[in-house]
Structure 1
Amino acid sequence: MLDHNLENILADAIAAAKAAGEITLCYFGKPMDVRHKSPNNPVTDADLHADNILRETLKSKYPDYGWLSEETPDDGSRLRCHRTWMIDPIDGTRAFTKGIPHFTISIALVENGKAILGVVFNPATNEMFYATRGDGAYKNHSQIKVSARQALSGARILGDKHWFCAKSWRTPWPEMHIESRNSIAYRLALVASGEFDMTIGTRQSNDWDIAAGAIIVSEAGGTISDYVGNEFVFNQAKPVQTNLIASGPHLHDEIITQLAQISAD
Protein backbone atom coordinates (compact mmCIF):
# COMPACT_ATOMS: atom_id res chain seq x y z
CA MET A 1 0.00 0.00 0.00
CA LEU A 2 1.28 3.43 -0.92
CA ASP A 3 2.49 5.57 1.96
CA HIS A 4 0.61 8.84 1.37
CA ASN A 5 3.37 10.82 3.03
CA LEU A 6 5.82 9.35 0.52
CA GLU A 7 3.32 9.94 -2.28
CA ASN A 8 3.42 13.68 -1.61
CA ILE A 9 7.19 13.72 -1.21
CA LEU A 10 7.56 11.78 -4.47
CA ALA A 11 5.47 14.37 -6.31
CA ASP A 12 7.78 17.10 -4.99
CA ALA A 13 10.90 15.12 -5.95
CA ILE A 14 9.61 14.53 -9.48
CA ALA A 15 8.76 18.23 -9.86
CA ALA A 16 12.24 19.15 -8.62
CA ALA A 17 13.85 16.71 -11.06
CA LYS A 18 11.90 18.24 -13.94
CA ALA A 19 12.92 21.76 -12.92
CA ALA A 20 16.58 20.71 -12.73
CA GLY A 21 16.19 18.92 -16.05
CA GLU A 22 15.00 22.11 -17.72
CA ILE A 23 18.12 23.84 -16.47
CA THR A 24 20.42 21.13 -17.85
CA LEU A 25 18.78 21.29 -21.27
CA CYS A 26 19.62 25.00 -21.45
CA TYR A 27 23.29 23.98 -21.43
CA PHE A 28 23.14 20.61 -23.19
CA GLY A 29 24.69 20.42 -26.64
CA LYS A 30 26.29 23.85 -26.35
CA PRO A 31 29.91 24.85 -25.69
CA MET A 32 30.56 24.94 -21.96
CA ASP A 33 33.35 25.49 -19.50
CA VAL A 34 34.38 22.14 -17.99
CA ARG A 35 36.39 22.16 -14.77
CA HIS A 36 37.74 19.20 -12.83
CA LYS A 37 37.28 18.77 -9.10
CA SER A 38 39.71 15.84 -9.34
CA PRO A 39 40.94 13.58 -12.18
CA ASN A 40 38.00 12.08 -14.09
CA ASN A 41 35.57 14.17 -12.04
CA PRO A 42 34.33 17.06 -14.20
CA VAL A 43 31.91 19.77 -13.15
CA THR A 44 30.11 22.46 -15.14
CA ASP A 45 27.97 25.49 -14.42
CA ALA A 46 24.98 23.28 -15.30
CA ASP A 47 25.82 20.91 -12.41
CA LEU A 48 25.96 23.81 -9.97
CA HIS A 49 22.83 25.51 -11.33
CA ALA A 50 20.83 22.27 -11.17
CA ASP A 51 22.11 21.59 -7.66
CA ASN A 52 20.94 25.03 -6.52
CA ILE A 53 17.47 24.42 -7.95
CA LEU A 54 17.18 21.05 -6.23
CA ARG A 55 18.44 22.34 -2.90
CA GLU A 56 16.21 25.43 -2.92
CA THR A 57 13.17 23.34 -3.86
CA LEU A 58 13.59 20.33 -1.59
CA LYS A 59 15.28 21.91 1.42
CA SER A 60 12.66 24.65 1.59
CA LYS A 61 9.85 22.09 1.74
CA TYR A 62 11.67 19.63 3.99
CA PRO A 63 14.01 21.67 6.18
CA ASP A 64 14.39 18.90 8.77
CA TYR A 65 15.78 16.42 6.23
CA GLY A 66 19.52 16.00 5.81
CA TRP A 67 21.29 16.84 2.57
CA LEU A 68 24.05 15.03 0.69
CA SER A 69 24.85 16.19 -2.83
CA GLU A 70 27.82 15.75 -5.09
CA GLU A 71 28.00 19.50 -5.55
CA THR A 72 27.42 20.66 -1.96
CA PRO A 73 30.04 20.43 0.82
CA ASP A 74 29.09 17.73 3.34
CA ASP A 75 29.08 19.16 6.89
CA GLY A 76 27.99 15.87 8.46
CA SER A 77 24.74 17.25 9.89
CA ARG A 78 22.82 14.70 7.81
CA LEU A 79 24.02 11.97 10.18
CA ARG A 80 21.75 13.41 12.89
CA CYS A 81 18.68 13.50 10.64
CA HIS A 82 15.92 10.90 10.46
CA ARG A 83 15.75 11.25 6.68
CA THR A 84 18.35 12.51 4.20
CA TRP A 85 18.16 13.60 0.58
CA MET A 86 20.90 12.15 -1.63
CA ILE A 87 21.35 14.14 -4.80
CA ASP A 88 23.39 14.03 -7.97
CA PRO A 89 22.29 17.03 -10.06
CA ILE A 90 23.95 15.58 -13.17
CA ASP A 91 25.05 11.95 -13.03
CA GLY A 92 27.04 11.34 -16.18
CA THR A 93 28.64 14.76 -16.54
CA ARG A 94 31.19 13.45 -19.06
CA ALA A 95 28.39 12.34 -21.40
CA PHE A 96 26.58 15.62 -20.78
CA THR A 97 29.59 17.73 -21.79
CA LYS A 98 29.99 15.70 -24.99
CA GLY A 99 26.36 16.12 -26.03
CA ILE A 100 25.55 12.45 -25.40
CA PRO A 101 22.04 11.96 -23.91
CA HIS A 102 23.14 9.48 -21.24
CA PHE A 103 22.98 11.72 -18.18
CA THR A 104 20.40 11.90 -15.39
CA ILE A 105 19.23 13.82 -12.36
CA SER A 106 19.28 11.41 -9.41
CA ILE A 107 17.25 12.04 -6.23
CA ALA A 108 16.90 9.62 -3.32
CA LEU A 109 15.43 9.88 0.15
CA VAL A 110 17.17 7.68 2.71
CA GLU A 111 15.85 6.57 6.10
CA ASN A 112 17.71 4.26 8.52
CA GLY A 113 20.35 3.49 5.90
CA LYS A 114 17.89 2.46 3.18
CA ALA A 115 16.48 4.39 0.24
CA ILE A 116 12.71 4.77 0.62
CA LEU A 117 12.19 6.93 -2.48
CA GLY A 118 14.10 7.29 -5.72
CA VAL A 119 13.80 9.41 -8.86
CA VAL A 120 16.08 9.11 -11.87
CA PHE A 121 15.27 11.52 -14.70
CA ASN A 122 16.89 11.74 -18.11
CA PRO A 123 15.74 15.12 -19.43
CA ALA A 124 17.29 14.58 -22.87
CA THR A 125 15.12 11.52 -23.52
CA ASN A 126 12.26 12.48 -21.17
CA GLU A 127 12.56 9.19 -19.26
CA MET A 128 11.33 9.49 -15.69
CA PHE A 129 12.01 6.47 -13.47
CA TYR A 130 10.76 6.46 -9.89
CA ALA A 131 9.88 4.26 -6.94
CA THR A 132 8.80 4.46 -3.34
CA ARG A 133 9.06 1.81 -0.65
CA GLY A 134 6.47 -0.93 -1.14
CA ASP A 135 4.75 0.56 -4.19
CA GLY A 136 6.72 -0.82 -7.15
CA ALA A 137 8.81 0.98 -9.75
CA TYR A 138 7.65 3.05 -12.70
CA LYS A 139 8.83 4.65 -15.91
CA ASN A 140 6.70 7.53 -17.16
CA HIS A 141 3.68 6.25 -15.18
CA SER A 142 3.94 2.62 -16.41
CA GLN A 143 5.04 -0.02 -13.94
CA ILE A 144 8.35 -1.69 -14.76
CA LYS A 145 9.92 -5.04 -13.91
CA VAL A 146 13.44 -6.39 -14.19
CA SER A 147 14.35 -9.03 -16.75
CA ALA A 148 13.61 -12.69 -15.96
CA ARG A 149 16.81 -13.90 -17.66
CA GLN A 150 18.49 -16.77 -15.82
CA ALA A 151 21.73 -17.27 -17.81
CA LEU A 152 24.67 -14.97 -18.47
CA SER A 153 25.11 -16.27 -21.99
CA GLY A 154 23.42 -13.83 -24.34
CA ALA A 155 22.61 -11.36 -21.57
CA ARG A 156 22.34 -7.63 -22.27
CA ILE A 157 24.90 -5.91 -20.07
CA LEU A 158 25.66 -2.31 -19.16
CA GLY A 159 29.32 -2.03 -18.27
CA ASP A 160 32.90 -1.77 -19.44
CA LYS A 161 33.47 -4.17 -22.35
CA HIS A 162 37.24 -4.18 -21.80
CA TRP A 163 36.75 -5.26 -18.17
CA PHE A 164 34.55 -8.19 -19.15
CA CYS A 165 36.88 -9.23 -21.98
CA ALA A 166 40.14 -9.01 -19.99
CA LYS A 167 42.36 -12.07 -20.43
CA SER A 168 43.00 -12.23 -16.67
CA TRP A 169 39.69 -14.02 -16.02
CA ARG A 170 40.39 -17.69 -15.21
CA THR A 171 36.88 -18.52 -16.36
CA PRO A 172 35.98 -16.12 -19.18
CA TRP A 173 32.59 -14.49 -19.26
CA PRO A 174 30.25 -16.03 -21.85
CA GLU A 175 29.23 -14.23 -25.01
CA MET A 176 27.13 -11.25 -24.00
CA HIS A 177 25.83 -8.03 -25.54
CA ILE A 178 27.67 -5.21 -23.73
CA GLU A 179 26.90 -1.51 -23.93
CA SER A 180 28.08 1.47 -21.90
CA ARG A 181 26.29 4.39 -20.27
CA ASN A 182 28.23 7.04 -18.38
CA SER A 183 25.56 7.50 -15.71
CA ILE A 184 25.39 4.68 -13.14
CA ALA A 185 21.96 5.95 -12.05
CA TYR A 186 20.76 5.59 -15.66
CA ARG A 187 22.27 2.12 -15.88
CA LEU A 188 20.40 1.03 -12.77
CA ALA A 189 17.15 2.47 -14.10
CA LEU A 190 17.56 0.65 -17.41
CA VAL A 191 18.12 -2.62 -15.56
CA ALA A 192 15.02 -1.93 -13.47
CA SER A 193 12.95 -1.44 -16.62
CA GLY A 194 14.14 -4.74 -18.10
CA GLU A 195 15.80 -3.05 -21.06
CA PHE A 196 19.08 -4.57 -19.88
CA ASP A 197 19.63 -7.69 -17.81
CA MET A 198 22.36 -6.44 -15.51
CA THR A 199 24.97 -3.84 -14.74
CA ILE A 200 28.22 -4.15 -12.82
CA GLY A 201 29.97 -1.19 -11.25
CA THR A 202 33.70 -1.81 -11.25
CA ARG A 203 34.67 1.32 -9.33
CA GLN A 204 33.55 2.75 -6.03
CA SER A 205 30.33 4.74 -6.13
CA ASN A 206 29.10 7.50 -3.88
CA ASP A 207 25.70 7.17 -2.25
CA TRP A 208 24.35 10.01 -4.38
CA ASP A 209 25.24 7.96 -7.48
CA ILE A 210 23.28 4.84 -6.61
CA ALA A 211 20.74 5.32 -3.79
CA ALA A 212 17.89 6.35 -6.12
CA GLY A 213 18.67 3.59 -8.62
CA ALA A 214 18.91 1.05 -5.80
CA ILE A 215 15.32 1.41 -4.68
CA ILE A 216 14.08 1.54 -8.28
CA VAL A 217 15.83 -1.78 -9.02
CA SER A 218 14.54 -3.34 -5.79
CA GLU A 219 10.95 -2.18 -6.32
CA ALA A 220 11.12 -3.52 -9.89
CA GLY A 221 11.82 -6.97 -8.45
CA GLY A 222 15.58 -6.89 -8.92
CA THR A 223 18.55 -7.45 -6.67
CA ILE A 224 21.35 -4.96 -6.00
CA SER A 225 24.39 -5.66 -3.85
CA ASP A 226 28.15 -5.58 -3.70
CA TYR A 227 30.22 -8.34 -5.32
CA VAL A 228 29.64 -10.80 -2.46
CA GLY A 229 25.92 -10.15 -2.05
CA ASN A 230 25.91 -7.62 0.80
CA GLU A 231 23.13 -5.06 0.74
CA PHE A 232 24.07 -1.39 0.78
CA VAL A 233 23.73 0.79 3.85
CA PHE A 234 23.48 4.45 2.87
CA ASN A 235 24.14 7.68 4.76
CA GLN A 236 27.17 6.54 6.71
CA ALA A 237 29.98 8.89 7.75
CA LYS A 238 31.82 7.90 4.57
CA PRO A 239 29.03 7.64 1.97
CA VAL A 240 30.91 5.40 -0.48
CA GLN A 241 30.21 1.89 -1.79
CA THR A 242 33.06 -0.19 -3.19
CA ASN A 243 31.35 -1.93 -6.13
CA LEU A 244 27.93 -3.11 -7.22
CA ILE A 245 25.87 -5.67 -9.11
CA ALA A 246 22.28 -5.06 -10.19
CA SER A 247 20.18 -7.62 -12.04
CA GLY A 248 17.08 -9.74 -11.93
CA PRO A 249 17.04 -12.18 -9.01
CA HIS A 250 17.64 -15.26 -11.17
CA LEU A 251 20.87 -13.88 -12.62
CA HIS A 252 22.33 -12.45 -9.44
CA ASP A 253 23.78 -15.65 -7.96
CA GLU A 254 25.41 -16.57 -11.27
CA ILE A 255 27.09 -13.15 -11.39
CA ILE A 256 28.40 -13.53 -7.84
CA THR A 257 29.81 -16.97 -8.70
CA GLN A 258 31.63 -15.51 -11.70
CA LEU A 259 32.94 -12.58 -9.65
CA ALA A 260 34.27 -14.91 -6.94
CA GLN A 261 37.36 -15.28 -9.13
CA ILE A 262 38.37 -11.77 -8.04
CA SER A 263 38.52 -12.64 -4.34
CA ALA A 264 40.11 -16.01 -5.10
CA ASP A 265 43.02 -14.47 -7.05
Structure 2
Amino acid sequence: MPASDDLTLLTEAAREAGKIALRYTGPEARVWDKPGGAGPVTEADLAVNAMLERELQAARPSYGWLSEETEDNADRLGREQVFIVDPLDGTRSFMEGARTWAHALATVAHGEVQAAVIYLPMMDKLYSAAKGTGAFLNGEPIAPSSRDSLLGASILAARPALAPEHWRRVPDIKRSHRPSLAYRTALVAEGRYDAMLTLRPTWEWDIAAGDLILREAGAATSDRYGARLRFNNADPRQMGMVAAPRALHENLTGALAPKGAVPRF
Protein backbone atom coordinates (compact mmCIF):
# COMPACT_ATOMS: atom_id res chain seq x y z
CA MET A 1 0.00 0.00 0.00
CA PRO A 2 1.47 3.44 -0.92
CA ALA A 3 2.63 5.49 2.07
CA SER A 4 0.40 8.37 0.94
CA ASP A 5 -2.67 6.15 1.17
CA ASP A 6 -1.64 5.00 4.63
CA LEU A 7 -1.12 8.62 5.67
CA THR A 8 -4.68 9.48 4.64
CA LEU A 9 -5.96 6.54 6.65
CA LEU A 10 -3.89 7.48 9.72
CA THR A 11 -4.96 11.12 9.54
CA GLU A 12 -8.64 10.22 9.50
CA ALA A 13 -8.15 7.73 12.32
CA ALA A 14 -6.23 10.24 14.46
CA ARG A 15 -8.96 12.84 14.13
CA GLU A 16 -11.58 10.26 15.09
CA ALA A 17 -9.41 9.28 18.05
CA GLY A 18 -9.42 12.89 19.16
CA LYS A 19 -13.20 13.05 19.04
CA ILE A 20 -13.44 9.95 21.22
CA ALA A 21 -10.87 11.13 23.77
CA LEU A 22 -12.52 14.53 24.09
CA ARG A 23 -15.75 12.87 25.21
CA TYR A 24 -14.01 12.12 28.49
CA THR A 25 -13.03 14.61 31.17
CA GLY A 26 -9.46 13.73 32.02
CA PRO A 27 -9.55 14.28 35.79
CA GLU A 28 -12.84 12.36 36.05
CA ALA A 29 -12.08 9.49 33.67
CA ARG A 30 -11.89 6.04 35.24
CA VAL A 31 -8.30 4.96 35.81
CA TRP A 32 -6.60 1.61 36.34
CA ASP A 33 -2.98 0.77 37.17
CA LYS A 34 -1.29 -1.53 34.68
CA PRO A 35 0.45 -4.64 36.00
CA GLY A 36 4.13 -4.48 36.85
CA GLY A 37 4.21 -0.76 37.55
CA ALA A 38 3.69 0.06 33.86
CA GLY A 39 1.69 3.18 34.72
CA PRO A 40 -1.94 4.24 34.54
CA VAL A 41 -4.48 3.63 31.80
CA THR A 42 -7.82 5.43 31.52
CA GLU A 43 -11.10 4.55 29.91
CA ALA A 44 -10.23 7.06 27.19
CA ASP A 45 -7.02 5.16 26.31
CA LEU A 46 -9.01 1.95 25.99
CA ALA A 47 -11.87 3.47 24.00
CA VAL A 48 -9.45 5.04 21.51
CA ASN A 49 -7.45 1.84 21.21
CA ALA A 50 -10.59 -0.22 20.53
CA MET A 51 -11.63 2.11 17.71
CA LEU A 52 -8.17 2.24 16.16
CA GLU A 53 -7.66 -1.51 16.28
CA ARG A 54 -11.07 -2.15 14.75
CA GLU A 55 -10.95 0.48 12.00
CA LEU A 56 -7.29 0.28 11.00
CA GLN A 57 -7.17 -3.49 10.87
CA ALA A 58 -10.41 -3.57 8.88
CA ALA A 59 -8.86 -1.16 6.38
CA ARG A 60 -5.54 -3.05 6.17
CA PRO A 61 -6.19 -6.68 7.18
CA SER A 62 -2.73 -7.80 6.05
CA TYR A 63 -0.96 -5.44 8.46
CA GLY A 64 0.27 -6.52 11.86
CA TRP A 65 -0.61 -4.65 15.05
CA LEU A 66 1.47 -3.24 17.91
CA SER A 67 -0.20 -0.95 20.43
CA GLU A 68 0.49 0.09 23.98
CA GLU A 69 -3.02 -0.96 24.98
CA THR A 70 -3.26 -4.32 23.18
CA GLU A 71 -1.59 -7.46 24.49
CA ASP A 72 1.34 -8.16 22.21
CA ASN A 73 1.78 -11.39 20.24
CA ALA A 74 4.32 -12.70 17.75
CA ASP A 75 1.95 -12.58 14.76
CA ARG A 76 3.14 -9.09 13.81
CA LEU A 77 6.72 -10.32 13.34
CA GLY A 78 5.68 -12.32 10.27
CA ARG A 79 3.89 -9.39 8.59
CA GLU A 80 5.56 -7.23 5.95
CA GLN A 81 3.76 -4.16 7.27
CA VAL A 82 2.53 -3.28 10.75
CA PHE A 83 0.67 -0.52 12.57
CA ILE A 84 2.49 0.85 15.60
CA VAL A 85 0.13 2.91 17.74
CA ASP A 86 0.04 4.80 21.00
CA PRO A 87 -3.68 5.47 21.46
CA LEU A 88 -3.06 8.23 24.01
CA ASP A 89 0.50 9.35 24.68
CA GLY A 90 0.77 11.40 27.85
CA THR A 91 -1.92 9.66 29.89
CA ARG A 92 -0.91 11.45 33.09
CA SER A 93 -1.27 14.81 31.34
CA PHE A 94 -4.71 13.74 30.15
CA MET A 95 -5.65 12.75 33.70
CA GLU A 96 -4.56 16.17 34.97
CA GLY A 97 -6.66 17.99 32.39
CA ALA A 98 -3.59 19.32 30.54
CA ARG A 99 -3.47 19.89 26.77
CA THR A 100 -0.21 18.19 25.80
CA TRP A 101 -1.34 14.61 25.22
CA ALA A 102 -1.36 13.09 21.77
CA HIS A 103 -2.38 10.24 19.52
CA ALA A 104 0.63 8.71 17.74
CA LEU A 105 0.03 6.44 14.74
CA ALA A 106 2.51 4.91 12.29
CA THR A 107 2.83 2.25 9.64
CA VAL A 108 6.09 0.33 9.33
CA ALA A 109 7.45 -1.84 6.52
CA HIS A 110 10.55 -3.98 6.96
CA GLY A 111 11.56 -2.07 10.06
CA GLU A 112 11.20 1.44 8.61
CA VAL A 113 8.35 3.87 9.25
CA GLN A 114 6.40 4.70 6.09
CA ALA A 115 3.62 7.01 7.26
CA ALA A 116 3.05 8.79 10.55
CA VAL A 117 0.68 11.13 12.38
CA ILE A 118 0.95 12.81 15.77
CA TYR A 119 -2.26 14.61 16.71
CA LEU A 120 -2.92 16.82 19.75
CA PRO A 121 -6.70 17.35 19.82
CA MET A 122 -6.70 19.95 22.60
CA MET A 123 -4.30 22.13 20.57
CA ASP A 124 -5.61 21.20 17.09
CA LYS A 125 -2.06 20.34 15.99
CA LEU A 126 -1.64 17.53 13.50
CA TYR A 127 1.92 16.59 12.52
CA SER A 128 2.22 14.26 9.55
CA ALA A 129 4.68 12.65 7.17
CA ALA A 130 4.84 10.01 4.46
CA LYS A 131 8.17 8.62 3.39
CA GLY A 132 9.83 10.81 0.80
CA THR A 133 7.32 13.68 0.90
CA GLY A 134 8.44 15.91 3.79
CA ALA A 135 6.89 16.67 7.16
CA PHE A 136 4.00 18.98 7.95
CA LEU A 137 2.09 20.67 10.75
CA ASN A 138 -1.55 21.27 9.84
CA GLY A 139 -0.55 21.02 6.18
CA GLU A 140 2.37 23.48 6.35
CA PRO A 141 5.97 22.25 5.86
CA ILE A 142 8.16 22.11 8.95
CA ALA A 143 11.92 21.91 9.52
CA PRO A 144 14.22 21.55 12.53
CA SER A 145 16.44 24.32 13.89
CA SER A 146 19.80 25.07 12.30
CA ARG A 147 21.81 24.81 15.52
CA ASP A 148 24.99 22.77 15.44
CA SER A 149 26.57 23.70 18.78
CA LEU A 150 25.69 21.72 21.90
CA LEU A 151 26.55 24.67 24.15
CA GLY A 152 23.31 26.41 25.07
CA ALA A 153 21.11 24.16 22.92
CA SER A 154 17.46 23.83 23.96
CA ILE A 155 16.83 20.16 24.62
CA LEU A 156 13.67 18.33 25.66
CA ALA A 157 14.60 15.67 28.21
CA ALA A 158 13.57 14.35 31.60
CA ARG A 159 15.82 15.45 34.46
CA PRO A 160 17.37 11.98 35.03
CA ALA A 161 18.77 12.09 31.48
CA LEU A 162 21.34 14.62 32.66
CA ALA A 163 22.75 12.36 35.37
CA PRO A 164 26.57 12.27 35.05
CA GLU A 165 26.73 8.51 34.41
CA HIS A 166 25.07 9.02 31.03
CA TRP A 167 27.71 11.42 29.70
CA ARG A 168 31.37 11.76 28.93
CA ARG A 169 30.82 15.26 30.25
CA VAL A 170 27.41 16.71 31.11
CA PRO A 171 26.76 19.47 28.52
CA ASP A 172 25.73 23.04 29.28
CA ILE A 173 22.26 23.03 27.75
CA LYS A 174 18.83 24.53 28.34
CA ARG A 175 16.63 21.64 29.45
CA SER A 176 12.86 21.60 29.06
CA HIS A 177 10.33 18.79 29.31
CA ARG A 178 6.99 17.63 27.92
CA PRO A 179 5.36 14.46 29.28
CA SER A 180 4.42 13.11 25.84
CA LEU A 181 7.40 11.64 24.02
CA ALA A 182 5.54 11.89 20.72
CA TYR A 183 5.00 15.61 21.27
CA ARG A 184 8.69 16.07 22.13
CA THR A 185 9.68 14.58 18.78
CA ALA A 186 7.21 16.82 16.96
CA LEU A 187 8.47 19.97 18.68
CA VAL A 188 12.01 19.23 17.50
CA ALA A 189 10.77 18.46 13.98
CA GLU A 190 9.20 21.92 13.75
CA GLY A 191 12.25 23.66 15.21
CA ARG A 192 10.72 24.92 18.44
CA TYR A 193 13.43 23.05 20.36
CA ASP A 194 16.86 22.07 19.11
CA ALA A 195 16.86 18.44 20.24
CA MET A 196 15.19 15.77 22.34
CA LEU A 197 16.55 12.71 24.01
CA THR A 198 15.41 9.89 26.19
CA LEU A 199 17.97 7.47 27.56
CA ARG A 200 15.74 4.92 29.25
CA PRO A 201 14.26 1.85 27.53
CA THR A 202 11.77 3.36 25.10
CA TRP A 203 8.69 1.64 23.70
CA GLU A 204 8.37 1.73 19.93
CA TRP A 205 4.83 3.13 20.06
CA ASP A 206 6.16 6.25 21.81
CA ILE A 207 8.61 7.18 19.05
CA ALA A 208 7.77 5.40 15.78
CA ALA A 209 5.58 8.21 14.41
CA GLY A 210 8.01 10.87 15.56
CA ASP A 211 10.96 9.08 13.97
CA LEU A 212 9.55 9.54 10.47
CA ILE A 213 8.25 13.07 11.06
CA LEU A 214 11.69 14.11 12.31
CA ARG A 215 13.59 12.50 9.42
CA GLU A 216 11.20 13.88 6.79
CA ALA A 217 11.57 17.34 8.36
CA GLY A 218 15.35 17.05 7.91
CA ALA A 219 16.51 16.02 11.38
CA ALA A 220 18.61 13.00 12.34
CA THR A 221 17.40 10.26 14.69
CA SER A 222 19.07 7.34 16.43
CA ASP A 223 19.14 5.36 19.64
CA ARG A 224 21.26 6.69 22.51
CA TYR A 225 24.39 5.15 20.98
CA GLY A 226 23.90 6.62 17.52
CA ALA A 227 22.53 3.45 15.91
CA ARG A 228 19.72 3.58 13.37
CA LEU A 229 16.23 2.99 14.74
CA ARG A 230 14.48 -0.09 13.36
CA PHE A 231 10.91 -0.94 14.34
CA ASN A 232 8.68 -3.99 14.85
CA ASN A 233 11.26 -5.84 16.90
CA ALA A 234 10.47 -8.94 18.96
CA ASP A 235 11.23 -6.85 22.04
CA PRO A 236 9.48 -3.60 21.07
CA ARG A 237 11.85 -1.35 22.97
CA GLN A 238 14.66 0.86 21.75
CA MET A 239 17.83 1.83 23.57
CA GLY A 240 16.51 5.35 23.99
CA MET A 241 16.23 8.00 21.29
CA VAL A 242 18.22 11.07 20.27
CA ALA A 243 16.83 13.53 17.69
CA ALA A 244 18.33 16.80 16.49
CA PRO A 245 19.51 18.66 13.39
CA ARG A 246 22.23 16.57 11.79
CA ALA A 247 25.33 18.40 13.02
CA LEU A 248 23.91 18.81 16.52
CA HIS A 249 22.88 15.15 16.57
CA GLU A 250 26.47 14.12 15.93
CA ASN A 251 27.71 16.36 18.75
CA LEU A 252 25.00 15.16 21.10
CA THR A 253 25.54 11.44 20.57
CA GLY A 254 29.29 12.03 20.77
CA ALA A 255 28.89 13.61 24.21
CA LEU A 256 26.94 10.66 25.59
CA ALA A 257 28.71 7.83 27.41
CA PRO A 258 29.73 5.04 25.03
CA LYS A 259 28.10 1.65 24.84
CA GLY A 260 29.18 -0.50 27.76
CA ALA A 261 29.75 2.46 30.06
CA VAL A 262 26.16 2.33 31.34
CA PRO A 263 24.04 -0.77 32.05
CA ARG A 264 22.07 -2.14 29.11
CA PHE A 265 18.41 -2.91 29.78
Partner of 1:205: 202
Pair 1:109–1:259, CA change in 2 (3 A): same
Partner of 1:158: 156
2:240, 2:224 → 1: CA distance?
7
Secondary structure of 2:144 counterpart: coil
2:258, 2:68 → 1: CA distance?
33
2:143, 2:91 → 1: CA distance?
27
Pair 1:237–1:161, CA change in 2 (3 A): closer
What is the percentage of aligned positions where both structures have the same residue?
A: 37
Could you state the TM-score of these two structures normalised by the residue count of structure 2?
A: 0.93
Partner of 1:258: 255
Partner of 2:78: 80
Cα deviations across residues 190-233 of structure 1 (Å, max 9, x unaligned)? Answer: 11111111011121111111111100011011111012210011
Pair 1:111–1:99, CA change in 2 (3 A): same
Partner of 2:46: 48
**Aligned with residue 187 of structure 2, among 180, 187, 190:** 190
Following superposition, the deviation at residue 177 of structure 1 comes to 2.3
2:261, 2:94 → 1: CA distance?
38
1:204, 1:221 → 2: CA distance?
25
Following superposition, the deviation at residue 40 of structure 1 comes to 4.9
User: Pairwise mapping of residues 27-176 of structure 1 onto structure 2 (< 5 A)?
Assistant: 27-37=24-34, 38-164=36-162, 166=163, 171-174=169-172, 176=173
Question: What residue identity is the alignment partner of 1:136?
Answer: G
User: Pairwise mapping of residues 3-14 of structure 1 onto structure 2 (< 5 A)?
Assistant: 5-14=2-11
Secondary structure of 1:26 counterpart: coil
2:164, 2:213 → 1: CA distance?
34
Following superposition, the deviation at residue 118 of structure 1 comes to 0.8
* Aligned residues of 2:27 and 2:96 also touching (Cα < 8 A): no
Following superposition, the deviation at residue 89 of structure 1 comes to 0.2
Question: What residue identity is the alignment partner of 1:114?
Answer: E
* Aligned residues of 2:221 and 2:244 also touching (Cα < 8 A): yes
2:170, 2:109 → 1: CA distance?
39
Question: What residue identity is the alignment partner of 2:4?
Answer: E
Partner of 1:23: 20
Cα deviations across residues 158-211 of structure 1 (Å, max 9, x unaligned)? Answer: 1123542x466662321x322111111111111111111101112111111111
2:233, 2:170 → 1: CA distance?
36
Pair 1:197–1:56, CA change in 2 (3 A): same
2:29, 2:261 → 1: CA distance?
45
Partner of 1:242: 239
Pair 1:163–1:8, CA change in 2 (3 A): closer
Q: What root-mean-square deviation, in Å, do the aligned CA atoms of Structure 1 and Structure 2 show? A: 1.7
Secondary structure of 1:232 counterpart: coil
Count of residues paired in the alignment: 260
2:258, 2:86 → 1: CA distance?
32
* Aligned residues of 2:225 and 2:259 also touching (Cα < 8 A): no
Partner of 2:219: 222
Question: What residue identity is the alignment partner of 2:230?
Answer: V
